[in-house]
């Protein structure tokens, strides 16, 4: 016989209490210090873990229900994409390069975040925190899987998607994102929360998943829009968790303030450097653009980041150290990185190209103070060389920043005609940096960053400088995956298949 | 004064939700972008279950918002009846 439910359903706050904090218990056989050995060494003082509260008050039962719904929506669109030649519906084959950066650099980062949250969910003593971290660990592996799954549809037809894991580990422009996550994962649990919850979620993903995905929609790529927005619906929760963690640390003890401020300084700059790749995707790799990188940074960086720091000022937090340098770099970075990708395009698992007249007109309009003055002349020179049959190639290897691992291609914050280069000598060895921000990060933790694995030194240490061997090692197929888009196999196939799809001949 | 915002996917499910948010927050600005709608408001935005239910014509659990939520900005406070986004004044 069915039992009749007599009790009234629990309210949201009551349910949250029962299904998170009431799951905890006081240990009897071991001390809390033995069970949670990593909770104190970073210096963060916590007096009452029960003060931690998820503002969404999401409990596991509701979590499964809504995540299942998101997955059903996602797979309905992925099926439709595969059934309807979705790979031919994109605006232009150039757009594929943005997807390749995404798959090689970002999706493996989601997987790294999954591993990190599985770990810190175990390391934090608070039950509310453990539950939130467990949900986030599951979210992150879902993101990695759905992204890889969605993009596998493109791998059937185009080059550069086939070996994203090797590209992620070994390819020079991807180790930028890899080093960000390795840095976070080898930090303590509280710093990890700032690295991912604040820097990756709050600073990065809004720019990556919101204007970029809206751009994917504009470019006819429903598969990417779907995984992007599906992932970002979780990121809203993750950002809230990251912000909650910052407020929690600041409210627990005044001694936590300088530690938290130091992490915000470090991870803002680390995140901003990873955004260099995103800026290039937005300004150069989307054939149809919703907004420029500069416009997106205004909304999600300046306005939203500014609002956050103003809010945190009540705890004594100030905007991060690199804030002003970031503002100065915003009108330059996408151009500098695209020029870098183009001149080293023999060594990229994606195609780059010289912007068309129409693209350059758009870039001039969006970057009125910088593009025509500093970057148009370079592109026009490169175009002239290409017309003479001499593609501009830089066969020298890029010098990489020891901290962010980007090639040192940026200019001085106050002089865009001067290359920016910093160096530090530590224990008799010289280390190079792209900026003051990266130099500061290194100098605060030199023992950590001298251990960084950098792809260019590895080419010599492990492969004797042999470019052919290196290409095999990074699973780059010369003449297929790399080089200029114009004349590539991807271009030929995209145009031929699209022609077949729109005619009967 | 800072801007709080919520962005939702543009689809059939969110159309009445966006209308409800507009009713409850006449000061909010609705920006329609490809595949998404971003709603900005100075300092504070309140989303009410009751107004959504009136617009959508069925019972609605505020946590259903998670399905179509893209992103938000501001401190979150959620209970059974309302979801509030705010920045400290």
Q: Give the domains, in start order, of chain A with CATH numbers.
A: 68-353+392-499 (1.10.620.20)
Residue-level pLDDT at A149: 93
Helix A211-218 to helix A222-252 angle, to the nearest 10 degrees? 170
Interchain proximity A225–B35, CB inside 8 Å:
yes
Q: How many CB atoms lie within 10 A of CB B58?
A: 7
pLDDT band at A208, cuts 50/70/90?
confident
Q: What pLDDT does A332 receive?
A: 98
Looking at A2-16, A126-140, A253-267, which range is the least confident one? Answer: A2-16
Residue B72 at interface with chain A, using a CB cutoff of 8 Å: yes
Q: Which residues of A266-278 are buried (b: 16+ CB within 10 A; e: fewer)?
A: bbbbbbbbbbbbb
Query: Which residues of B fall within a CB distance of 8 Å from A209?
Result: 70-71
Amino acid A2: pLDDT: 59
At residue A3 the predicted structure's pLDDT band, cuts being 50, 70 and 90, is: low
Chain A residues with CB under 8 Å of B69 CB are 233, 236
* Total Cβ atoms within 10 A of residue A326: 26
- Euclidean distance between CA atoms A44 and A384, whole angstroms: 58
CA–CA gap between residue A438 and residue A440 (Å, rounded)? 5
Q: What angle do CA A449, A451, A454 make, to 5 degrees?
A: 90
pLDDT at A449: 97
Scanning every residue of chain A, which has its alpha carbon at the shortest distance from the alpha carbon of B6?
A236
pLDDT at position A231: 82
Question: Is the per-residue pLDDT at A296 higher than 60?
Answer: yes
- A52-65: b (≥16 Cβ within 10 Å) or e: bbbbbbbbeebbee
Q: Closest Cα partner for A241 from B87, B62, B76?
A: B76
**Tokens at residue A131, please?**
């539950």
The first and second tokens of residue A114, run together, are: 């999954």
B59 touches chain A (CB under 8 A): no
Q: Across the interface, do A236 and B4 touch by the CB < 8 Å criterion?
A: no
- pLDDT of A505: 61
Residues A210, B7: C-beta atoms closer than 8 Å: yes
Does the pLDDT of residue A392 top 80, yes or no? Answer: yes
Question: How far is the C-alpha of B43 from the C-alpha of A263, rounded, in Å?
Answer: 27
- Nearest CB among A206, A233, A240 relative to B67 is that of A233
Q: Using one digit for the tens of pLDDT, what is the confidence trace for A485-505?
A: 999 999 999 999 988 877 776
Q: What's the gap between Cα A122 and its chain centre?
A: 24
ipTM score of complex = 0.90
Q: What is the pLDDT of residue B35?
A: 86
Minimum mean pLDDT among A80-94, A220-234, A372-386, A477-491: which range?
A220-234
Residue A227's closest chain B neighbor by CA? Answer: B70
**Token code pair at residue B4:** 């709080």
**Interface probe, candidates B76, B79, B84, chain A, greatest A C-beta count within 10 A:** B76
Check A73 against B79: CB less than 8 A apart: no
Q: What percent of chain A has pLDDT over 70?
A: 98
Domain covering B3-86 in this structure, CATH number: 3.90.56.10
Q: Please report which confidence band the pLDDT of residue A408 belongs to, taking 50, 70 and 90 as the band edges.
A: very high
- Chain A nearest-CA distance from B32, in A, is 11
Q: Identify which has the larger pLDDT, A110 or A202.
A: A110
pLDDT in 10s for each residue of chain B, 89 residues: 899 999 999 999 999 999 999 999 999 999 998 889 999 999 999 999 999 999 999 999 999 999 999 999 999 998 899 999 999 87
């Amino acid at each position: 016989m069915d039992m009749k439910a007599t009790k009234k359903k629990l309210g949201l706050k009551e349910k949250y209490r029962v299904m998170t904090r009431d799951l905890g218990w006081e240990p009897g056989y071991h001390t809390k210090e033995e069970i949670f050995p990593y909770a104190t060494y970073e210096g963060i003082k916590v007096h009452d873990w029960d003060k931690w509260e998820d503002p969404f008050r999401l409990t596991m039962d509701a979590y499964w229900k809504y995540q299942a719904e998101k997955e059903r929506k996602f797979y309905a669109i992925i099926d439709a994409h595969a059934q309807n030649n979705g790979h031919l519906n994109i605006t232009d084959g150039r757009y594929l390069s943005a997807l390749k950066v995404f798959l090689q650099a970002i999706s493996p980062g989601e997987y790294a975040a999954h591993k990190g949250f599985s770990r810190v969910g175990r390391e934090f003593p608070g039950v509310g925190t453990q539950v939130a971290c467990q949900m986030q660990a599951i979210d992150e592996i879902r993101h990695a899987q759905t992204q890889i799954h969605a993009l596998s549809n493109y791998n059937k037809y185009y080059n550069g998607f086939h070996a994203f894991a090797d590209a992620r580990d070994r390819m020079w422009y991807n180790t930028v994102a890899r080093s960000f996550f390795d840095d976070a994962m080898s930090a303590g649990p509280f710093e990890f929360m700032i690295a991912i919850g604040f820097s990756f979620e709050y600073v990065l993903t809004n720019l990556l998943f919101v204007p970029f995905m809206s751009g994917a929609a504009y470019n006819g790529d429903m598969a990417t829009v779907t995984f992007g927005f599906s992932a970002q619906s979780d990121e809203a929760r993750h950002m809230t968790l990251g912000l909650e963690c910052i407020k929690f640390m600041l409210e627990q003890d005044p001694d936590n303030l300088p530690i938290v401020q130091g992490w915000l300084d470090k991870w803002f700059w680390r995140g901003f450097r990873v955004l260099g790749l995103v800026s290039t995707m937005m300004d150069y790799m989307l054939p149809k653009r919703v907004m420029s990188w500069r416009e997106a940074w205004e909304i999600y960086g300046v306005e939203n980041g500014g609002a956050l720091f103003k809010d945190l000022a009540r705890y004594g937090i100030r905007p991060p150290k690199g804030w002003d340098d970031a503002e100065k770099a915003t009108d330059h970075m996408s151009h500098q990185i695209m020029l870098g990708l183009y001149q080293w395009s023999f060594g990229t698992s994606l195609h780059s190209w010289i912007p068309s007249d129409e693209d350059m007109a758009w870039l001039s309009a969006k970057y009125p103070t910088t593009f025509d003055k500093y970057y148009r002349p370079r592109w026009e020179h490169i175009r002239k060389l290409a017309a003479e049959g001499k593609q501009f190639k830089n066969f020298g290897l890029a010098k990489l920043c020891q901290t962010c691992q980007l090639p040192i291609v940026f200019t001085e914050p106050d002089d865009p005609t001067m290359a920016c280069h910093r160096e530090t000598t530590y224990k008799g060895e010289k280390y190079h940096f792209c900026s003051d921000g990266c130099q500061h990060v290194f100098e605060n933790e030199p023992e950590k960053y001298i251990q960084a694995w950098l792809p260019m030194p590895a080419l010599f240490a492990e492969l004797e400088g042999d470019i052919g061997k290196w290409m095999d090692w990074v699973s780059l197929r010369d003449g297929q995956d790399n080089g200029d888009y114009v004349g590539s196999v991807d271009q030929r196939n995209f145009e031929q298949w699209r022609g077949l799809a729109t005619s009967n001949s | 004064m800072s801007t709080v915002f919520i962005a939702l996917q543009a689809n059939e499910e969110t159309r009445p939700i966006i209308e409800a948010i507009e009713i409850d927050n006449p000061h909010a600005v609705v920006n329609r972008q490809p595949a998404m709608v971003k709603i900005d408001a100075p300092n504070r935005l309140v989303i009410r279950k009751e107004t959504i239910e009136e617009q959508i014509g069925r019972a609605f659990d505020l946590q259903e918002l998670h399905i179509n939520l893209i992103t938000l900005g501001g401190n979150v406070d959620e209970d059974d009846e309302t979801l509030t986004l705010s920045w400290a004044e």
